[in-house]
Chains A and B, each alone.
Chain A
Amino acid sequence: MIGVLASRLLWAIPTMLAIITLAFFMMRIAPGGPFDGERAMTAEVKANLERAYKLDKPVYVQYGHYLAGVVQGDFGPSFQYRDQSVSGLIRQGLGPSLLVGGLAVSLAFVMGMALGITAATHQGGVVDRLTMALASLGLALPSFVIAPLLALAFGVGLRLFPVAGWGTAAHLALPVFALSIPYAASIARLTRGGILATTSAPFVRTARAKNVSPARILWRHILPQAIMPVVSYLGPSAAGVLTGSVVIETIFQIPGIGRYFVQGALNRDFTLVMGVVIVYAAMIIVFNLLVDLVLQRLDPRTRSTA
């Protein structure tokens, strides 16, 4: 296991380097720069600005500077939010994104598993059909439709929760729920599929023959196997959820990093986008590693040899 960890972490470095390089040069190829706004500046002013942000140097020089900075933890200044550093912006925004994302993933896991188990245990019946229909619905409706509807219904109409904003626990309710829906739906489907696939496996038949109680079979024998596809799915998805969903953060005005990324790319805030890309890539690598470790633990075939 240490070997796996070590080799993965070692691979992470060239991976990150490749990602940074790719992202850096892609952004530079795109037409338009950070200082081309609706409000035109005179040529002198624009030149001054570009000089201040070192945009007048050749691209590979900028690249070198940027890499040197990253290694020291300095992601550079933001181009659109003047006087702010990217690391400062990310530090402030990461908390809310992580909180909303973390709660959403947890809620999705619980809801999804509950729905999936219910469906699998009542396979073929009305409950199964209804639950799976709900799940398909959750996957087929885009989140930018569900979120405003929830805000209207529960925020404006029923006045149960704040419509948008940040500050109290109540502000978390709607965004977390809205964010969790598509993931819960996927998890429900994966869980149900996983349980049904495992139910016919030989070791389960053995357990049944040994007269082990159905509940115990479910929880101790089937689920650990059935969860495996859920875990593989959760890994990369979690990284995406935790780095903030653009849709949810925009509609509920969460001060997270999800929006930085889209706004940054559209406004050509090179450094901010790069900063978010690095955070996202790091998360994916970490989560993929975690997923592999958990899968190793769960899979009884590998457990005995570990």
Chain B
Amino acid sequence: MAIWRVSLAGLFTGSALCNGKPMRPLLICFAIFFSGCGGPIDRPAREDKTHIVRVNDDEVRTLDPHKVSIVTDGRVVGDLFQGLIDLDVSGRPIPGQAQSWSVSDDGLTWVFILRPDLVWSDATPLSAEDFVYSFRRLVLPATAAPYANLVNGWVGARAILKGEAPAERLGVTALDSQTLEIQLIRPEPALLNMLAYAALVPVPRHVIAKHGDAWSRPGTLIGNGAYTLSSWRRQASMEMVKNRRFHAADSVALDRVTYVPISDEMAAVRQFRAGEVDIVPDFPGTMAAVLEQQLGDQVHIGPYLTTFYWVFNTTKPPFDSPAVRRALSMSVDREAIIKSIMRTGNAPAYAMVPPDTGSYGPAHLPDWASWPLEARRTEAKRLLEAVGITPASRLEVVHRYNTSDTYQRIALAIGQMWAELGVDLVLFNSETAVHYAALRSGDYVLGRAGWAADYAAPENFLFVFASASKGLNYPRYRNPRYDELLDAAVSESDVPTRMALMRQAEAILIEDSPILPIFYYVSKYLVADDVTGWSPNVLSAHRSRWLGFAP
């Protein structure tokens, strides 16, 4: 590799000097030589071991936990606030502000005991009443919280969200200043996982009373997490310092955390290599091999609970036929896409729920998943011919996706796979807002979508395709049997039965094929090798309170 780089560089330098245009080729030579001649890079280590610099994939939009809707914001909120439950290094729920809890036999009533002497970072005491206030604010229509529907299973939540009941009707009660009771309309074994989510942390009543919606700005923001916000230079950096009043402050190793928003992935990678940042939450998959050579085990690639899938609009022919949809799904060579385009060892997806989502176990596989590709293609051809789609009489399909080189490549590759069956894919891309608006309004026949778990439970994936899920059920899938099984599953408190019911539901879903799952995501991190407390986890939740530097 090095030899051809040298000769290429030499060739260019030579030809360049001959026609008097030395600048660009020389620059490229510099890049080739100095950026990484394939060998390991010596990254300068951080001198101040109490300060870590983490990259965030974009500028934070809001720090009000109830208004958070993207991972970018959730990441920071996880450091500034702590809910009843927190997540450990592996993403598992552990006691947060609550020290213990119990659940009734029918699974409908949960009681949480808060730790004694909890305070906000400004020393104001934090009690169960604060939690009651916070949950009520979450479901208040005026708050317009994007994740308010997380608590749909709590007593009264649905009615309040529709504006049909006052917030006081929510099934949360402060039994005393340290005891909180939550009442559900159906059992929620994953409630603990849910409570660790950003939208369910407490918000400071006393600050909101004084400042209204402006409370979450720097200067007035008060939290109860391991860190407090000390400064926020928009688009440049967000500084946090250790919250001395945090109940577990002794276990927090780092004094300062800086978040830098870097939207250009390669810029973040360059900064990591130059030692300017310590953690990078994403990088282009195609760079994986190079980065592994240069940075060794500072590259962390691991499973992530997110599914990449295409959706068929089941109301538009010929996609109203399950056989057609199944044929198209069968004929996609997922392994080739993963190997050639994704290049990060993702697991192929034949179903919606990723493997090991909560207690779900391995991902569902339709029977044809084990057939060799040729057999699948033959069967697909047969199914398509039955409805009159052949290489001679072709079908043109417009595929919508949101702008991304990767999504485009996947579409082109699948387009080639389908071309031999007589299906011609026409690509149509638009930016995210427009794309999802179109999917939601049904203005598409075939589209790309992705679903990331809010918390590790299979129902979080499966409810998307329930008939009642209007905004998210892009395929407009309606199967009463599916709905029945799903309803039965979420009302079931016995975990193995619950899982079995969900598996049955998913089997029906995949048989009907309103979606075309392609692969499960991986999380891609670059983590400086002297960072301690890092553990890969499927939720990609890495709270700064667990991190430190090796001396």
Contact = CB atoms under 8 A, between A and B. Distances in A.
A and B touch in the complex (CB under 8 A): yes
Contacts of B276: 162-165
A63 to B, nearest CB: 21
A250 B34 contact: no
Given A141-B24, A164-B270, A44 B62 contact: no
A52 B144 CA distance: 8
Interface in A194-243: none
Given A250-B264, A266-B433, A42 B61 contact: no
Contacts of B236: 96, 165-167, 253, 255
Interface in A37-54: 37-46, 48-49, 51-52
Interface string A54-79: 00000000000000000000000000
Contacts of A151: 267, 270
Given A148-B270, A165-B237, 5 more contacts: A42-B149, A44-B162, A83-B67, A155-B274, A266-B432
Nearest to A257: B235
B34 A153 contact: yes
Nearest to B63: A83
A81 B433 contact: no
A250 to B, nearest CB: 5
Interface stretch (B213-221, B520-528, B540-548): B213-221
A137 B263 contact: no
A44 B270 contact: no
B440 A36 contact: yes
B437 A32 contact: yes
A93 B59 CA distance: 13
A84 to B, nearest CB: 8
For chain B, the bracket of interface size reads 35 or more
B431 interface: yes
A48 B274 contact: no
B146 interface: yes
A52 B146 CA distance: 13
A37 B64 contact: no
Nearest to A268: B433
12 contacts: A31-B434, A38-B436, A40-B440, A89-B234, A93-B234, A96-B236, A137-B23, A163-B273, A164-B271, A167-B236, A250-B264, A266-B433
Contact of B433 (A34, A137, A165): A34
Nearest to A92: B234
A48 B163 CA distance: 10
Nearest to A140: B24
A166 B67 CA distance: 28
B485 interface: no
A240 B63 CA distance: 32
A158 B34 contact: yes
A148 to B, nearest CB: 7
Interface string B426-459: 0000111110111010000000001000000000
Nearest to B450: A38
Contact of A40 (B30, B33, B471): B471
Contact of A81 (B62, B274, B434): B62
Contacts of B270: 148, 151-152, 155-156, 163-164
Interface of A: 30-34, 36-46, 48-49, 51-52, 80-84, 89, 92-93, 96, 126, 129-130, 133-134, 137-138, 141, 146, 148-153, 155-159, 162-167, 250-256, 259, 266-268
B28 A149 contact: yes
B433 A152 contact: no
A146 B217 contact: no
Contact of A156 (B35, B146, B402, B472): B35
Contacts of B437: 31-33, 36
Contacts of B216: 83
A30 B260 CA distance: 32
A159 B44 CA distance: 10
B364 to A, nearest CB: 24
Contact of A153 (B27, B237, B470): B27
Contact of A45 (B148, B274, B431, B450): B148
Given A36-B434, A164-B270, A165-B260, A156 B34 contact: yes
Contact of B27 (A37, A146, A159, A251): A146
- Which of A42, A93, A146 has the most chain B CB atoms closer than 10 A to its own CB? A42
B262 interface: yes
Nearest to B73: A82
Contact of B24 (A82, A129, A137, A152): A137
Contacts of A134: 21, 23
B70 interface: yes
A72 B526 CA distance: 47
B90 interface: no
A52 B431 CA distance: 24
Contacts of A149: 27-28, 30-31
B58 to A, nearest CB: 9
The 9 tightest CB contacts between A and B, nearest first, are A157-B34, A255-B235, A153-B30, A48-B144, A82-B62, A32-B434, A255-B236, A32-B433, A36-B437
